């Protein structure tokens, strides 16, 4: 995947590899360097894109705790990221949510592992990866690279 000002897209390659955590640091969860197979867009993609776009209807105080209206750029970047991740074989449909800071968020959870991404309007991603089977693989941070997310989501 490569990062651009409008979001995250694949470079057009048949496969992608990941060799570092999204924070750029070496992390056990990213050390295997797999080759990720691509597929056609799954059936759930359009529904999730619709859910992302519907976040734009939220007004200030949408959560009754002062939550900000959702930033349009955050939704656009989240949409591009979701399109890129959806074509990676093994990536399941995320839950689409909003953060109180006014950003789109994508959450994947299989009961043992979870990845929560908050998409900032400037193209950065705030993420938390939790692995109940091996807490040493937990990782969190803020990054402008989405390179390692596909690997995490296919290593369930």
Alpha helices (H) along 5-71: 45-54
The pTM (predicted TM-score) of the whole model is 0.78
Q: What total of structural domains would you count in the chain?
A: 1
pLDDT, tens digit (0-9, with 9 covering 90-100), for 85-128: 999 999 999 999 999 999 999 999 999 999 999 999 999 999 99
pLDDT of residue 119: 98
Range of the domain at 53: 2-154
Q: Label residue 69 by pLDDT band (50, 70, 90).
A: very high
Sequence-separated (6 or more) residues with CB below 8 Å from residue 127: 22, 115, 116, 117, 118, 139, 140, 141, 142, 143, 149
């Amino acid at each position: 995947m490569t990062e651009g000002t409008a979001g995250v897209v694949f470079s057009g390659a048949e496969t992608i590899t990941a060799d570092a955590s999204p924070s750029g640091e070496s992390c056990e969860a990213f050390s295997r360097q797999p080759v990720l197979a691509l597929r056609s867009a799954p059936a759930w993609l359009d529904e999730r894109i619709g859910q992302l776009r519907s976040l734009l209807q939220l007004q200030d105080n949408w959560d009754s705790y002062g939550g900000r209206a959702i930033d349009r750029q955050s939704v656009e970047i989240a949409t591009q990221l979701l399109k890129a991740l959806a074509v990676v074989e093994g990536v399941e449909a995320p839950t689409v949510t909003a953060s109180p800071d006014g950003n789109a968020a994508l959450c994947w959870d299989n009961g043992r592992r979870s990845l929560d991404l908050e998409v900032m309007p400037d193209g950065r991603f705030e993420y938390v990866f939790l692995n109940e089977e091996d807490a040493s693989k937990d990782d969190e941070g803020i990054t402008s690279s989405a390179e390692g997310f596909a690997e995490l989501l296919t290593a369930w």
